[in-house]
Amino acid sequence: MELFLLGIDGLPRWMWQQLADSDVMPHSAQLLRTGTLVPMKSALPEVSSAAWASIVTGCNSGGHNVFGFTDLMDGSYTLGFTSSRTLRAKPFWAEASAGPSLIMNVPQTYPAQPMNGMLVSGFVALDLKRAVHPPEQLGWLESIGYAVDADMSLVEHGKARFVQELRRVMDARCQALHHHWDREPWKSVMFVFTGTDRLNHYLWEDFEDRSSPFRQMFLNYYHEVDRQIGRMLERLDDRVLIAAVSDHGFARQLRSVNLNCLLAEAGFLRLKHSPRPSFADLGPETTAFAMDPGRIYLHRQGRYPGGRVTAEESEELLQRLTSFMLNATVDGQPVAESVHRGRDAYSGPFAHRAPDLIVMPAEGTALSGRLNLTQLLETTLINGRHTYEESTFFVRGPEAAARIPSDMKVENVLDVILPAKTAQLRRAA
Amino acid sequence: MSAITSECCSTAASITEVLLGGDAVLNLTPQTLNVVHGTPFIGVADGRLWLSAKPAAIDWQPHFADSIRQLTMPDISRIVIITDAATGDASSVSRAFAASGIPHMICVLRDVCDADAFMDEADAEAVAERLRQLGYL
């Protein structure tokens, strides 16, 4: 094996170091001593689908075409969900020079595409039958009760039951990893823990509150993740390049603001009356709308069937929207920390599909792009939110570490761990 | 360079969902493919294969294999061989590319393809529910 790439969804760099230093994650502590751990910036916006797509392709969203979990199909109001089929740049394992790879639970790889090796798709995989390549490996995975995802609805039955479910799913995934690890001499292995993200979403308040009865449960989960990391490290000799990444950081979520509701209140968005609103219900007077989590699109003429914003009107509207977002408050709290222009944020063949603005949330705030306009402040059990800053990048050894840029971003991961792949990409560009 | 041969299915209308940057299309069928402008195709001129910026279809002849090694494809990393139920040449074309060590994939066109329909209405609702649980929708 030449490369082992470990993904830990939603693990902030500072938290990994803190848990390693405090003996919650002793195997991680041992690993971190052998290399370089740096903070990394996530995708814009800081959404897992776009960030993992950037990590495995070396492109930003303009290059791989994944801007969020949802997108409107070109020239329509049809809501689509991004998948391996909308990912338009090659992941590193699909390169001709990649050699046989074992790829497990990487988000944005469903349905499983043909590749050299074995792949089991991660979030948002629905059906295990379509999540496995080659298909002949399906039977064994079914026999161990491999689940494509944890049942998140169990959080409504209590945090203990929810964490138990996360453990069950992680155990099966790790069992599958080791089983398939032994089958072939893989050149690259990538495995992603995703239960960490789910845990952070629902138990972040317990992590921060030292008196919470669920705090130890939170730490125990990370201890188990670390035990699994230890099992993996035992199998890797000194010649293997080991890297570890997370797709975004995490922080406390105190409120969730519905951006479409905010835009409607300010007169930028109007929905036709509908019992179940969809983007097809956007009124012609709509000038802007939002999609998850902070993407704002002008309702442009030519891009959307009912769009009326002309190219000449767009600059003034973008300035107005930027100013509005930067000054908006809900219950006295600011909504946005910063607003970025899509045209400045992305590069590549799909940059023209980018949102016009990306709103980065203020501290404590999460942004949603729901079209339900009844609640500006949404009710949710979620109390942890993604952050753009402080995702994790670790690489073992000094040689690869020397390639870490000073402003490390998710799309730079392959530059560091597989520089030949990114050189190839640049030649193709 | 190892020649990876794998197979998928799609429809002529949704073939863009299969194609990735760096792919060139070798279309063995008479069907018009719904590709984005600028997708490279492999065509035939003067009895030899060549890379074209315009859509092309090929009636495969065994001697075309001799010109595979002369193909100049600086930015191409994979050939997607398009075939359908009425076209029987895909396996011989695949063997010819494999013999030259060129990565390629066979894509079988169907009227309806399960893989394309992976996100039917029920699936879409299931995905939406999962995204709702994480606060995206």
Distance from C-alpha of A51 to C-alpha of A429, rounded to nearest angstrom? 21
| Contact status of A390 with chain B (Cβ, < 8 Å) | no
Distance from C-alpha of A269 to C-alpha of A324, rounded to nearest angstrom? 13
Q: Which of A21, A4, A5 is nearest to A222 (CA)?
A: A21
The ipTM assigned to this model is 0.75
| Interface touch A96/B77, C-beta < 8 Å | yes
Is it the case that residue B113 has pLDDT exceeding 80?
Answer: no
Q: In chain A, which residues have their Cβ closer than 8 Å to the Cβ of B98?
A: none
Number of H helices, E strands in chain A: 14, 20
What local confidence, expressed as pLDDT, does residue B115 receive?
57
| Interface touch A152/B133, C-beta < 8 Å | yes
As averages over each run of 10 residues, the pLDDT of chain A (429 residues) reads 97 98 97 98 97 97 92 82 85 89 96 91 92 94 94 94 97 97 95 98 98 98 98 97 98 96 97 88 96 95 92 97 98 97 92 94 95 89 96 96 97 94 56
Closest chain A C-alpha to B46 CA, distance in angstroms: 28
What local confidence, expressed as pLDDT, does residue A429 receive?
44
Token pair 């988000």 is at which residue? A107
Q: Which residues of B65-77 are buried (b: 16+ CB within 10 A; e: fewer)?
A: beebeebebeebb
Closest chain A C-alpha to B17 CA, distance in angstroms: 5
What local confidence, expressed as pLDDT, does residue A238 receive?
95
What local confidence, expressed as pLDDT, does residue B5 receive?
53
| Contact status of A276 with chain B (Cβ, < 8 Å) | no
Is it the case that residue B3 has pLDDT exceeding 70?
Answer: no
What local confidence, expressed as pLDDT, does residue A419 receive?
87
Distance from C-alpha of A361 to C-alpha of A35, rounded to nearest angstrom? 32
Could you tell me the pLDDT band of residue B2, with boundaries at 50, 70 and 90? very low
Is it the case that residue B12 has pLDDT exceeding 60?
Answer: yes
| Contact status of B6 with chain A (Cβ, < 8 Å) | yes
Q: Which of A194, A104, A185 is nearest to A141 (CA)?
A: A104
Give one word for A105, left, alpha or beta, with left for phi > 0 and alpha for psi -120 to 50. Answer: left
Could you tell me the pLDDT band of residue B116, with boundaries at 50, 70 and 90? low
Q: Which of A126, A166, A204, A256 to mutate to test the interface with B (most CBs of B within 10 A)?
A: A126
Q: In chain B, which residues have their Cβ closer than 8 Å to the Cβ of A370?
A: 137
Could you tell me the pLDDT band of residue B58, with boundaries at 50, 70 and 90? very high
Q: Which of A90, A155, A194, A261 to mutate to test the interface with B (most CBs of B within 10 A)?
A: A90
| Interface touch B135/A380, C-beta < 8 Å | yes
| Interface touch A81/B119, C-beta < 8 Å | yes
Q: Which residue of A has its CA nearest to B79?
A: A96
Q: Which of A65, A69, A119, A166 to mutate to test the interface with B (most CBs of B within 10 A)?
A: A69
Q: In chain B, which residues have their Cβ closer than 8 Å to the Cβ of A89?
A: 20-21
| Interface touch B4/A115, C-beta < 8 Å | yes
Q: What is the pTM of this model?
A: 0.86
Estimate to the nearest angstrom the gap between the alpha carbon of A379 and the chain centroid: 22
Listed range (A67-71, A293-297, B6-10, B23-27) with the worst mean pLDDT: B6-10
| Contact status of A258 with chain B (Cβ, < 8 Å) | no
| Interface touch B4/A96, C-beta < 8 Å | yes
- Residue among A69, A111, A428 minimizing CB distance to B136: A69
Q: In chain A, which residues have their Cβ closer than 8 Å to the Cβ of B126?
A: 126
| Interface touch A124/B75, C-beta < 8 Å | no
Distance from C-alpha of A133 to C-alpha of A137, rounded to nearest angstrom? 7
* In chain A, residues 216-255 whose CB comes closer than 8 Å to chain B: none
What local confidence, expressed as pLDDT, does residue A382 receive?
95
What distance, in Å, lies between the first and last C-alpha atoms of chain B? 43
- Residue among A80, A99, A256 minimizing CB distance to B135: A256
| Interface touch A70/B137, C-beta < 8 Å | yes
What local confidence, expressed as pLDDT, does residue B56 receive?
95
Q: Which of A322, A373, A367, A371 is nearest to A344 (CA)?
A: A322
* In chain B, residues 56-115 whose CB comes closer than 8 Å to chain A: 74-75, 77-78, 103, 105, 115
What local confidence, expressed as pLDDT, does residue B1 receive?
34
Q: Which residue of B has its CA nearest to A110?
A: B118
Closest chain B C-alpha to A294 CA, distance in angstroms: 10
What local confidence, expressed as pLDDT, does residue B20 receive?
75
CA gyration radius for chain B? 17
Give the mean pLDDT of B54-65.
93
* In chain A, residues 196-215 whose CB comes closer than 8 Å to chain B: 198, 201
| Contact status of A342 with chain B (Cβ, < 8 Å) | no
Q: Is the dihedral of CA A398, A402, A407, A410 positive or negative?
A: negative
Nearby residues of B61 by Cβ (< 8 Å), 6 or more positions away:
none
Q: Which residue of B has its CA nearest to A151?
A: B130
| Contact status of A116 with chain B (Cβ, < 8 Å) | yes
- Residue among B4, B119, B135 minimizing CB distance to A116: B4
